[in-house]
Structure formats: C-alpha cells, structure tokens
Amino acid sequence: QVQLVESGGGLVQSGGSRRLSCAASLRTFSDYAMGWFRQAPGKEREFVAASSRSGSTTDYADAVKDRFTISRDNAQNTMYLQLNSLKPEETAIYYCAAVIGSNQQSTYSRNYEYYYWGQGTQVTVSS
C-alpha cells in the first residue's frame, strides 16, 4: 500500500525557517515525480514546488521562489521542502504528492496530475 507521510510542521515565527519531509513507501521512488502543495484555511490547495524523478529539474510557485527549496533523496525514499523567510500568510497544511514521471526531467504543478497524496503537515507562522 502506497503511503506518503509528511513531517516537520509546527509553529514558527515570521521570518523563520522550517524543513518538511515526505517519506514515501513507493516501490521505486525514483520512478515518481514529486510535489508539494499547501492549503490555507478557506482557500483552495495551491502548488508550491515540484521535483522531477531524478531531482535534476525543479519548479516553484512564483510566491516561494528564492525562499523555498525542494530536494529529494532517492536512496532514502524521502523528499524535502526547506522553507525560509516564512510569512504569516503561508500558514497552511502542506501536502506532498507523487505521480509516475513520464521521463527524468518532467515536473508537474497541477493538483490533478498527481495520483498519491499524503495527509499533510500543519505549518503555522506567527506574526
């Protein structure tokens, strides 16, 4: 059974940092492109960052570019999201997602492109 389990959420002050992890029980982790999304209260789930199967290609939402960094360790079946310079409006549940990548370089930024989802981890940024 496929499982994606996020961790690393919590309370952080505005301007602070946090590192999220996503542990995947995928049979061959390196076959999967991965992504991070977030959903704030009363808002739709939105794209944050994506990684290709190999991690060689990444993509970011404009709002988080230069502050967030997505990475992955295929040997450990784990993906990460480093969040820096956090803002109160980035308080949200952060979700990781996985889909079989069509090639080593493709990334995916739309909800419907992903097949597996984790349960999310709450990040709260205090002002």
Run means of pLDDT, 10 residues per run, the chain, 127 residues: 94 98 95 98 97 97 97 97 98 97 94 97 97
β-bridge pairing 32-39 and 18-24: unpaired
Dihedral (CA of 62, 115, 125, 81) sign? negative
Residue 124's nearest CA partner among 46, 13, 1 is 13
CA distance 1 to 3: 6
| Token pair recorded at residue 127 | 């002002």
Q: What is the dihedral of CA 113, 62, 70, 98, to 10 degrees?
A: -10
Please name the residue ranges forming H helices in the chain: none
**Per-residue pLDDT, 27:** 87
**Per-residue pLDDT, 1:** 81
